[in-house]
Amino acid sequence: MDDIDRSLLSLLEEDCSTPLHDLAVMLGCSDEEVEKRKKQLEEDGIIRRYSAVINWEQVDKGAVYAIIELKVAPERDYGYDRIAARISRFSNVRNLRLRTGTHDLQLLVKGKSMQEIARFVSEQIAPMERIRETATHIIMKTYKENGVLYVEREDGQRLPFSF
């Protein structure tokens, strides 16, 4: 992992559709080298996948996202890992994190409706062994996601010419 790898990663994170040749020119190396580095980063699992940042709120008007916080009793030898692995298998769980604070695990869940989220929490998550408490927070509006602004912002204007 050197500076070129790091720069390559930020470029891809920002826009993974940047043509390979442009990446090479910007990084000051050959197309082949960029290709090789990219492969290596994929093989090492540093690049997990290439995806788009999509504002689904604009597409699925009815879709509901919720943050669900869980208090969990950790297991001897495994801590939170086994229960987290179990929860992460649900495909509607978009993010799952262990965190500090009042709760232990935090999930981001996508559902078609409030009812679907409610059912998921009460029927699938809450009854699980070792789950002590749940708190569900419905997301009302997203302003920024993965560093990308979702709300229109008026940018400052520059003069067309200045010295």
Lookup result for tokens 């749940």: 134
**Considering CB under 8 A, how many residues would be counted as binding another protein?**
15
Choice between 7 and 92, CB closer to another protein = 7
**151 contributes a contact to another protein by CB under 8 A:** no
User: Candidates 26-34, 51-59, 105-113, 128-136 — which segment interacts with another protein by CB under 8 A?
Assistant: 26-34
Q: Which of 1, 16, 20, 25 binds another protein (CB under 8 A)?
A: 25
Q: Which residues contact 20 (CB under 8 A, 6 or more apart)?
A: 31, 34, 35
Planar angle of CA 20, 16, 52, nearest 5 degrees: 155
125-130-136-141 Cα dihedral, nearest 10 degrees: -80
**159 contributes a contact to another protein by CB under 8 A:** yes
Choice between 51 and 162, CB closer to another protein = 162
User: Candidates 22-30, 57-65, 86-94, 118-126 — which segment interacts with another protein by CB under 8 A?
Assistant: 22-30
Q: Tell me the closest approach of the beta carbon of residue 41 to another protein, in angstroms.
A: 18
**7 contributes a contact to another protein by CB under 8 A:** yes
Question: What are the φ and ψ backbone dihedral angles of 72, each rounded to 5 degrees?
Answer: -130, 140
Label residue 71 exposed, middle or buried (CB < 10 Å: 0-12, 13-18, 19+): middle
Q: Tell me the closest approach of the beta carbon of residue 64 to another protein, in angstroms.
A: 31
Q: How far is CA 92 from CA 3, 16, 23, 47, 80, in A?
A: 36, 25, 34, 22, 20
Give contact residues for another protein (rule: CB under 8 A). Answer: 7, 11, 22, 25-28, 155-156, 158-163
